[in-house]
């Protein structure tokens, strides 16, 4: 027979597995030179930044330029904090989503069709 504390731990572990995934905004400076400018401008609430949204272990962004020769989409993904075109600055926790992985995938697929590169 399972002890009360083991049962509570088991229930807690199952709840954690099914919690809504965290969403994180990753902010980048547009380049090393811009990082210095952003240090000054950020005091005034301004700057030139790139951002990506992390969900389900991938970071999604819009780059405006074709990143894949087989796609016209400007939407791309990389490892979290891994956009090599920019200089990583900080992460901003955005909370959790109630969307499933399939719902997020479907949303991103639609965005990839609508947000084209130039």
Give the number of other CB atoms < 10 A from CB of residue 60.
19
What pLDDT does 9 receive? 61
What pLDDT does 19 receive? 65
DSSP-assigned letter for residue 73: B
How does pLDDT run across 1-33, given as a tens digit for each residue? 556 666 666 666 555 555 679 999 999 999 999
pTM of the complete model: 0.77
CA-CA distance, 91 to 24, in Å (whole number)? Answer: 7
């Amino acid at each position: 027979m399972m002890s009360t504390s083991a049962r509570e731990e088991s229930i807690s572990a199952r709840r954690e597995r099914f919690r809504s995934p965290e969403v994180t905004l990753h902010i980048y400076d547009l380049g090393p030179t811009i990082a210095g400018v952003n240090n000054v401008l950020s005091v005034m609430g301004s700057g030139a930044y790139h951002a990506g949204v992390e969900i389900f272990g991938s970071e999604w962004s819009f780059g405006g330029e074709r990143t894949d020769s087989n796609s016209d989409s400007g939407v791309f993904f990389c490892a979290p904090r891994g956009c090599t075109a920019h200089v990583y600055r900080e992460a901003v926790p955005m909370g959790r989503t109630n969307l499933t992985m399939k719902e997020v995938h479907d949303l991103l697929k639609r965005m990839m069709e609508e947000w084209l590169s130039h």
